Structure 1
Amino acid sequence: MSGTNPHPPTPSGLPVLGNTAGFVRDPFGFVRESVKTTGDAFRMRLLGKDVYVLGHPDLVESALLDRDSFAKLDDFTLAFGDALLAVHGDQWRRQRHAMEEFFSPTRIADHADAMTAIAESRIDRWGATETVRVDEEMRAIALENLFEVVLGHSLPDEELTELAEVANTLNLWFKPSSWVLPEWMPTPARRKFRRGSAELRARSQELLSDGRKAPTEDSLLARLAALRDDPDSGFDESEILDQVVGMVFAGHETTALSMTYALHQIGSHPKVAERVYTELDDVIDGSPSVSDLQDLEYLDRVLNETFRLYPPVHAIPRVTTEQTTVGGYTIPADAPVLLSVWSLHRDPRFWDDPLEFDPSRWEDAGPRERGYTFVPFGAGPRICIGRHFARLEAKATLATVGRKYRIEALGDLAVSPKMTTQPTEPVCIRFSRHPD
């Protein structure tokens, strides 16, 4: 650390407003262009705050590995309290240790049949030819997987739909036109966020209450309830409730988005779709088994390419705990920092034809070989605890859909940044059954 290093440069902006107008008008485009013209580390001047952005894999690696200097942003605490995705230090280590066994690859693989059954049950409601609001359908499938497989608790369809809608309001805190304003300033998005956050917390409390049907014994919900009731666990009622709130949102939202975007890309690229159908026919006979899913190499590439082009987490937010130096620049203490996943994944320095959806780019180099140019689940010690669950669920769902239906996307895909990468319009896809 050194105070002699300069602050990161600032893109040109307007008097008083700074970079606010450019960022709000086109957040993704503004960040991508600023990395190109201003540098891999730059400072956005927004109303009421300076925000630092890191857009190079080496700088992102430094920030993700330096957990002492880069902590979770306070906005996450506002949304999720002391949930795993919001805390750091000893509290994070204690929580991670308590929950990581439920997300091990071996344990998750045991639930592949359940994931397939959930997808089959949902798509069996579609007709021979059906136009589907696929973003809603995938959210319902992902939430049902979370409750059935992880939380060990069945919910009726109408309650799953309501819960998904409530959880989605947490995205509104990060709506760019609202996020750039001082935190004390009320906005419609913030009011909806606070109402949704309170309702999600109340519903999560119901799940933990003694009056509800007990979850399955080996579920995460049962584990959390046991920790709550154990005076020696270090977990109190509030912290356990925060875990449920965080899990209900993070445990389904990003996976639902990835499945939505993957289906849209398959349906937008006929040659990709044909390769998917051919592989499914060659590998699977009947319902996909866990071994079948592991053998779907081309579908793996489709998923990797979806995670790259449309990362469900577009930026990893951090806040500096002290003045620190990264990339030769000084960032002051208590400064919000965005690690731009979106920019990394679309940077022509690291990807050929980065705006093209091209699963073949993954034939010779997998995610590990890409290093910090590919971080859809974060990286380092705090890499997403649910990444194995998300990937297997996505493969099970896509394989189940692709075995039964041909996929045709209707319209282009446009997205915008909130807490996650959200579609700006409903994502509609026409599904028609394969000929016998």
Structure 2
Amino acid sequence: MSQPNSRPPAPSGTPLLGHTVDFVRNPFGFVRRSVDTTGDAFRMQLLGRDVYVLAHPDYVETALLNRESFAKLDDFEVAFGEALLSVEGEQWQRQRHAMEEFFSPTRIRDHAATMVGVARTRIDDWPSGGSIRVDEEMQKVALQNLFEVVLGQSLSDEEIAELTVAANALNYWFKPTTWALPNWVPTPARRKFHRGAKDLRKRAKTLLADTGDSPREESLLATLAALRDDPDSAFDQSEVLDQVVGMLFAGHETTALAMTYALHQIGSHSEVAEQFHAEIDSVLDDEIVLADLQELDYLDQIINESLRLYPPVHAIPRVTTERVDIGDYTLPADAEVLLSVWSLHRDERFYDDPLRFNPDRWEQTTPQTQEYAFIPFGSGPRICIGRHFARLEMKAVLATIGQRFRVDAEDDIEVAPRMTTQPAGAVPIQIHERP
């Protein structure tokens, strides 16, 4: 039993290094072991720096609802400047209000046909009976959808390749071997990050330039450009530029990962694939329309289960602005905090047989009933603004692929935490044209 106002306990570690080596070698395994042995709130010591990990729905709820006591880390500002992803307070409210209409469910549904069209175009070159890197292919699909729907422009394959490299580089800021070190240490990962951030910012400036192709009027880019040019909007050139930088990363990265893991799991479980294809064949016509996509209930279950087992955002970082109570413990002011989405989603207290990929578990429950034990898009006031876009894109793309191809995973999948939950290596799958 803890004493009132005591800090969360620390698992056993080593002198001087604390938990640095264990965390760097296997972050997910270390967190899971620490929850099992030390509790749902614990303190890890990384080269003399304390980081508090919260891994219970009640603790996570407190942190996500109490925005005054739990703020964003400065790391987000380093990556995205004054984008919606990183700002706080009145500035966040102003930005959210300016963009939330574009991401409303009603407006996003209007783009289902575009998402299907993009997917069909991208898979036309897939070699039936051959192998593809599904991680790379899903990045291309997601990035093209981002530009077509959100930014109102089209991309060449060369531009997609350049942007993918730049966006991927932002993940290196949160590479465990680098994140455990002080920010002033110039690691190779941090150099890659800064090069990627520079390239993304350069591309964002091009998108917002007065010359060149104009964005489509219904796009978010057109909205941002109008805000930039409106003296009464309080959006200056720099702030609008940061929004585009944030969208170039967050608008495709997590969705591409979610689709990668979902396809890999479909290709790894024959009984899931059989039910997936049976539903598609019974619901979809040659022309895939929104009304039919909404009838694909089993695909919804596959998406929920993939987001549970492989959440694209594995941890939500925060910093305390004051002393704050969490259960029986007290976190000090200026404490770094990680809300472990990965641990929550794989906890046997909240999910039966949690390491098994089982879409059927969502037949009798919903993401809403799981509350803070299921937070692939975060939760509370700062829940991901693009969640409706992401879910519709996943459904449109997976249905389009499933209508034409059967997929077989070639290997088991391993993950490597960065800013997002990255595959540890290439993710090849075999594809076969369906009759």
Query: Which bracket does the TM-score occupy, shorter chain normalised?
Result: over 0.9
The answer to whether structure 1 residue 217 and structure 2 residue 249 are counterparts is no
Cα deviation code 1:381-402 (max 9, x no counterpart) = 1110000000000000000000
Cα deviation code 1:341-370 (max 9, x no counterpart) = 000000011110000000000000010011
Aligned residue in 2 for 1:382: 382
Residue range with higher mean Cα deviation, 149-158 or 135-144: 149-158
Shift of 1:330: 1.2
Q: What code does the residue aligned with 2:100 have?
A: E
Aligned residue in 2 for 1:265: 265
CA distance in 1, matches of 2:287, 2:266: 20
Q: Aligned pair count?
A: 433
Q: Are the counterparts in 2 of residues 102 and 220 from structure 1 also a CA contact under 8 Å?
A: yes
Q: What code does the residue aligned with 1:229 have?
A: D
Q: What code does the residue aligned with 2:291 have?
A: S
Aligned residue in 2 for 1:154: 154
Q: What code does the residue aligned with 1:228 have?
A: R
Task: Report the 3-state secondary structure (helix = DSSP H, G, I; strand = E; otherwise coil) of the residue aligned with 1:337.
Answer: strand
Change (3 A) 1:7 1:176: same
CA distance in 2, matches of 1:110, 1:418: 33
Alignment identity in percent?
Answer: 66
Cα deviation code 1:218-276 (max 9, x no counterpart) = 11001101111111101111111100000000000000000000000000000000000
CA distance in 1, matches of 2:30, 2:264: 25
Matches within 5 A, 1:35-434: 35-434=35-434
Q: Are the counterparts in 2 of residues 48 and 181 from structure 1 also a CA contact under 8 Å?
A: no
Task: Report the 3-state secondary structure (helix = DSSP H, G, I; strand = E; otherwise coil) of the residue aligned with 1:103.
Answer: coil
Cα deviation code 1:58-88 (max 9, x no counterpart) = 0000000000000111111100011001111
RMSD across aligned positions (CA): 0.9
Task: Report the 3-state secondary structure (helix = DSSP H, G, I; strand = E; otherwise coil) of the residue aligned with 2:130.
Answer: strand
Consecutive unaligned residues of structure 2, counting only runs of 5 or more, are: none
CA distance in 2, matches of 1:93, 1:145: 26
Shift of 1:48: 4.6
Shift of 1:161: 1.5
Shift of 1:55: 0.2
CA distance in 2, matches of 1:101, 1:150: 12
Task: Report the 3-state secondary structure (helix = DSSP H, G, I; strand = E; otherwise coil) of the residue aligned with 1:42.
Answer: strand
Q: Are the counterparts in 2 of residues 287 and 400 from structure 1 also a CA contact under 8 Å?
A: no
Task: Report the 3-state secondary structure (helix = DSSP H, G, I; strand = E; otherwise coil) of the residue aligned with 2:210.
Answer: coil
CA distance in 1, matches of 2:101, 2:241: 19
CA distance in 2, matches of 1:388, 1:376: 12
Cα deviation code 1:124-164 (max 9, x no counterpart) = 11122221011000000000000000111111111012101
Consecutive unaligned residues of structure 1, counting only runs of 5 or more, are: none
List, as ranges, runs of 4+ consecutive aligned residues in structure 1 with deviation greater than 4 Å: none
CA distance in 2, matches of 1:291, 1:297: 12
Residue range with higher mean Cα deviation, 43-52 or 92-101: 43-52
